[in-house]
Chain A
């Protein structure tokens, strides 16, 4: 098969989902957000539910998610995406409603909304991208910043005594009865991305079956904020983030693992 044959539509074995727009991503090269966006959009596309899907974008790096996701989408105030999604799901019980949030949004300013939305067991999907830093505002400490990790507001490293410990949101919400599915994934390798996609698919299936809240955390990198090359950041993530935020299912079908 030569090049001409390869690009023939009938020989196509992989293509970009039409649910991703052609707008160039505003994320730094090497960032995991683009992959996470793509996986969510592929799931919605493959399930054939775009006409019934309403997304909620956060404030943070993914504030412009609506530029890249070719779906109906609302951009919420900082931390309030779960409240926004709650109302949409209550008013449109047959729709697939999901939020896409970062760690500052979901685990700091929006903690109350996160906890109570999970506790009510709203029939929505929360996709939580945890990269341990505030990327959009220039690399400040997040609630999930690891001990000793340097950021612009923890320039000498996070001190547990004065700044508290990094918060494990997925374990926290998994303990609430309203949460039906809680899992932690990653997207930096093909293997991880495939698993993450399966998890996202399971989450949307749970919405279809009206099982309540599905919480999918994606531990990701922030090479710019961490001041590393993309590759270095992925290695650092595996060596430091994964031991503290271990990957895998935490709660499946309403049962803690």
Chain B
């Protein structure tokens, strides 16, 4: 049965993972996402569904545990926050290279370095431009509410298994820590080992029966084979762009100015749009729900209509580069955002729009 609850974003994500029939979670504590593993440990999911939960000795170990379980076809995830994600990047690159379905959650805090434990969106580049080594991309979902923290767990696994690829849920300290009402879906059964072998037996390592052995690796010492692997990955990313782009448009029909914002910045910008409309400024919001794939064509189409675009991000200007590329310099594109863990107000966003684009 579905259930309506008041929960923190991190807790909603953890509860949704149990309900989505996730097989295993491996993590390491780091602020502001430690509630995920705390909630899971408290809930005893091994009793509720048989889900494995393990606190690893490091983020590095945790992501490699994800690699191990994912290679056996299990539905497996990890979560962390910015410095921890940096540690996981090698493993994420291996997951992409070995084509393993898996879900990674980043509840972003400010950086660089140890930075701050306050919310930030400064890991945009790391998330959508690779991050780890080699030619790969992550499918990146950016929740803007506690409800989406819960819903995106299942969505992320659907994509991960559709493409046999790692998927990133790019949240931030604000969405992770804030409480909202959330509608939790009914409990789903975990997949049985028999069904798993039937579905993924052509690639997962589950013990060699009367078939050829399965091997999980990202290594191809023969250049032609390695290039073929890269091409296979690129074909997946192209298909993701065609079939699995997600975005939301608010008040864009008559907009003369456009704000592009995701996650917590999109929530703040939504209020800025309201305030602008009250002042008679025709402003709309385009919220990328996926950061890769990015709504390039949608932004380009809106350049026929708007006089300028403001990219609002809790960072020093990262997504703005993709907005500029999408807009192909047809209209001015500006950036606004606070850093260091400071969260901009709707008034500041509207003021920036007026100062930078309207004057």
A-to-B contact residues, CB < 8 Å: 50-54, 56-57, 63-64, 66, 70-77, 80, 83-88, 90-92, 95, 112-113, 115-116
Contact = CB atoms under 8 A, between A and B. Distances in A.
A90 B215 contact: no
B90 A71 contact: no
B213 to A, nearest CB: 6
A50 B207 CA distance: 6
B217 A75 contact: yes
B72 A80 contact: no
B69 A88 contact: yes
B76 interface: yes
* Residue of B54, B57, B76, B91 most packed against chain A (CB within 10 A): B57
Contacts of B64: 76-77, 80, 83-84, 87, 113
Contact-residue size bin, chain B (C-beta under 8 Å from the other chain): 35 or more
Interface in B205-243: 205-209, 213-219, 221
A88 B221 CA distance: 26
A70 B260 CA distance: 53
Contacts of A112: 57-58, 60-61
B28 to A, nearest CB: 11
B16 interface: no
Contacts of A54: 72, 205-207
* Residue of B74, B94, B213 most packed against chain A (CB within 10 A): B213
Interface in B29-83: 52, 54, 56-58, 60-62, 64-69, 71-72, 74, 76
Given A77-B91, A112-B61, A72 B68 contact: no
A57 B67 CA distance: 13
B217 A91 contact: no
Given A87-B65, A88-B69, A113-B57, 11 more contacts: A50-B207, A56-B68, A63-B219, A74-B68, A74-B216, A75-B219, A86-B65, A87-B64, A112-B60, A115-B57, A116-B56
A87 B215 CA distance: 17
B215 A84 contact: no
9 contacts: A74-B68, A74-B71, A83-B61, A83-B68, A87-B52, A91-B72, A92-B193, A95-B207, A112-B57
B58 to A, nearest CB: 6
A70 B57 contact: no
B26 interface: yes
Nearest to B24: A91
B67 A80 contact: yes
B23 interface: yes
B214 A116 contact: no
B67 A72 contact: no
Contacts of B68: 56, 74, 76, 83-88
A13 to B, nearest CB: 26
9 A-B pairs closest in CB distance: A84-B68, A87-B68, A87-B65, A80-B64, A75-B217, A72-B205, A116-B57, A83-B64, A87-B69
